[in-house]
């Protein structure tokens, strides 16, 4: 096994209460055991920078829709007790257990009857941790269905595939045509069939739109997202600033929010089913390469003015 490439350990901020051996295991998992030093450093910096920010604030529960394989990293970086991760990729079933095995950590797991939900408990960094992994379309999942009103951390990062509303039309086409349903959307024969089929969904005559069955996973500060997070908790929207333009400090204050700088994730760690290899991310998404970024933190329980929503 490689020697852990943790840099000057003496420089690690004590208040992050990071267990070095565990940090090294998580970095191995995220960066890969044979990763070069700079990639490991980046992953390490991301974790350490988040640890520093969460101390003294609320960080017990994380809700992460469209989580992909990003499970142990956020749990450990935010020093959370419970991560609820939702993703509809069936290939991710068993991913929590797989990652823990790779790290050599023992765990115990239970599964729902339909095997779509797993609940795994284990110890990491001297604390008992829990990951609930739900294999479902995130647009149909509500926190309240999971018995929760709010969480401490709402983590939304590149929810590609869940970032559009799902409508009655989408569902109809999905059920009828399977994997290639999206192409049917623009097909004249399909349009005629839907018009003539009395059982096919129809647009609302007033709005001219199909009924929304599941709202998109919104990667911005909507009123609904704002209300999901406890006072003293965090939002992570792609680890980016609240908006693409500078918001005046006073506006953030009014919203009870504070930007907090962290080290952005290494772009190679955001692997998708479309780009399952690190090299592909490198080729296809060079725009993901940023380093210094921000995290948002609620400072006060001010109700978000609807006028601010969605910025
Ligand atoms: C670009 S990846 C990002 C993964 C993760 N957030 C990260 O940053 O590493 C997008 C993820 O969204 C998932 N996804 C796509 N459509 C979804 C949906 N409707 N519901 C839940 N997950 C979905 C995909 O399976 C994939 O894991």
pLDDT attached to residue 75? 97
Q: Tens digit of pLDDT per residue, the chain (311 long)? A: 444 445 555 556 555 568 889 999 999 999 888 888 878 888 888 899 899 888 888 999 999 999 999 999 999 999 999 999 999 999 999 999 999 999 999 999 999 999 899 999 999 999 999 999 999 999 999 999 999 999 999 999 989 889 999 999 999 998 888 878 878 877 888 988 998 999 999 999 899 999 999 999 998 888 888 889 998 899 898 887 776 455 677 777 777 788 888 888 877 676 655 555 656 555 544 444 444 445 555 554 444 555 555 55
Q: Are residues 35 and 80 in the same domain?
A: yes
- Residue 254 CA to residue 233 CA, distance in Å, equals 16
Ligand 1 midpoint to CA 252 (Å): 29
Residue 138 within any structural domain of the chain: yes
Q: Are residues 70 and 115 in the same domain?
A: yes
Output the 3-class SS for 33-88: CCCCHHHHHHHHHHHHHHHHHHCCCCCCEEEEECCCCCCHHHHHHCCCCEEEEECC
Return the residue whose CA atom lies nearest to atom 17 of ligand 1: 162
Tell me if residue 91 falls in helix, strand or coil. Answer: helix
Q: Are residues 34 and 121 in the same domain?
A: yes
Residue 22 within any structural domain of the chain: yes
Ligand 1 midpoint to CA 68 (Å): 5
Return the residue whose CA atom lies nearest to atom 16 of ligand 1: 161
Output the 3-class SS for 145-158: HHCCCCEEEEEECC
Q: Which of 214, 231, 250 is the last residue of a domain?
A: 214
Q: What is the DSSP string of 201-253?
A: ----TTTSSPPEEE-----S--HHHHHHEEEEEEEEETT--SSSSPPPHHHHH
Q: Are residues 184 and 277 in the same domain?
A: no
Q: Which residues have a Cβ under 8 Å from the Cβ of 22 and sit 6 or more positions away?
A: 76, 124, 125
Q: What is the distance, to the nearest Å, from the Cα of residue 304 to the centroid of all Cα atoms in its chain?
A: 22
Q: Which atom of ligand 1 is nearest to the CA of 64?
A: 6
The neighbouring-strand residues paired with 123 are 128
Residue 131 within any structural domain of the chain: yes
> Ligand 1 test: best mutation among 29, 70, 133, 162, most atoms within 8 Å of CB?
162
Q: Are residues 209 and 287 in the same domain?
A: no
Q: Which atom of ligand 1 is nearest to the CA of 69?
A: 9
Q: Are residues 118 and 251 in the same domain?
A: yes
Residue recorded with tokens 């609302």: 204
176: part of which helix (H) or strand (E)? helix 168-177
Q: Are residues 97 and 30 in the same domain?
A: yes
pLDDT attached to residue 276? 58
133: part of which helix (H) or strand (E)? strand 127-134
Return the residue whose CA atom lies nearest to atom 3 of ligand 1: 158
200-to-34, 173, 185, 189, 190 alpha-carbon distances in Å: 53, 9, 13, 14, 11
Q: Are residues 114 and 52 in the same domain?
A: yes
pLDDT attached to residue 83? 98
Q: Is the CB of 87 under 6 A from ligand 1?
A: yes
The neighbouring-strand residues paired with 260 are 295
Q: Are residues 179 and 227 in the same domain?
A: no
Cβ atoms of residues 272 and 162 within 8 Å = no
pLDDT attached to residue 269? 72
Q: Is the CB of 153 under 6 A from ligand 1?
A: no
Ligand 1 midpoint to CA 261 (Å): 25
Residue 6 within any structural domain of the chain: no
Burial level of 295, CB count in 10 A (0-12/13-18/19+)?
buried
Percentage of the chain with pLDDT > 90? 44
Tell me if residue 174 falls in helix, strand or coil. Answer: helix
Q: Is the CB of 68 under 6 A from ligand 1?
A: yes
Q: Is the CB of 88 under 6 A from ligand 1?
A: yes
Q: Are residues 78 and 197 in the same domain?
A: no
List the one residue out of 156, 152, 148 whose CA is nearest residue 297. Answer: 152
Q: Are residues 148 and 85 in the same domain?
A: yes
Residue 111 within any structural domain of the chain: yes
Return the residue whose CA atom lies nearest to atom 2 of ligand 1: 272
Mutual angle of helices 95-103 and 20-31, in 10-degree steps: 120
CATH of residue 302:
3.40.50
Residue 4 within any structural domain of the chain: no
Q: Are residues 178 and 275 in the same domain?
A: no
Residue 2 within any structural domain of the chain: no
- Residue 121 CA to residue 73 CA, distance in Å, equals 15
State how many domains the chain has: 2
Q: Which atom of ligand 1 is nearest to the CA of 155?
A: 6
pLDDT attached to residue 301? 40
Residue 192 lies in domain: 166-214
Q: Is the CB of 272 under 6 A from ligand 1?
A: yes
pLDDT attached to residue 8? 57
Residue recorded with tokens 């709402």: 154
Q: Which of 214, 246, 277 is the last residue of a domain?
A: 214
């Amino acid at each position: 096994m490689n020697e852990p490439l943790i840099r000057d350990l003496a420089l690690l901020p004590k208040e992050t209460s990071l267990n070095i051996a565990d940090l090294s295991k998580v970095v191995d998992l995220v960066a890969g055991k044979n990763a070069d030093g700079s990639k490991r450093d980046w992953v390490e910096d991301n974790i350490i920078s988040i640890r520093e920010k969460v101390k003294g604030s609320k960080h017990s529960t994380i809700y992460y829709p469209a989580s992909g394989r990003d499970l142990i990293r956020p749990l450990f970086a935010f020093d959370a007790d419970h991560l609820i991760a939702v993703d509809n990729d069936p290939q991710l079933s068993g991913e929590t257990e797989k990652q823990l095995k790779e790290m050599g950590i023992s765990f115990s797991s239970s599964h729902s009857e339909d095997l779509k939900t797993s609940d795994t408990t284990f110890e990491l960094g001297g604390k008992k941790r829990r990951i609930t992994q739900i294999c479902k379309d995130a647009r149909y999942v509500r926190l309240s269905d999971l018995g929760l009103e709010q969480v401490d951390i709402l983590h939304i990062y590149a929810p590609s595939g869940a970032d559009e509303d799902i409508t009655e039309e989408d569902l109809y086409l999905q059920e009828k045509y399977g994997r290639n349903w999206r192409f049917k959307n623009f097909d004249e024969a399909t349009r005629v069939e839907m018009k003539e089929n009395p059982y096919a969904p129809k647009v609302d005559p007033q709005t001219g739109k199909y009924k929304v069955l599941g709202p998109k996973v919104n990667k911005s500060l909507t009123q609904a997202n704002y209300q999901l997070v406890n006072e003293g908790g965090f939002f992570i929207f792609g680890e980016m600033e609240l908006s693409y333009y500078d918001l005046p400090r006073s506006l953030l204050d009014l919203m009870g929010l504070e930007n907090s700088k962290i080290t952005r994730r290494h772009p190679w760690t955001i692997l998708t089913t479309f780009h399952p290899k690190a090299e592909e991310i490198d080729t296809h998404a060079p725009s993901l390469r940023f380093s210094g970024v921000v995290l948002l933190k609620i400072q006060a329980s001010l109700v978000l003015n609807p006028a601010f929503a969605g910025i």
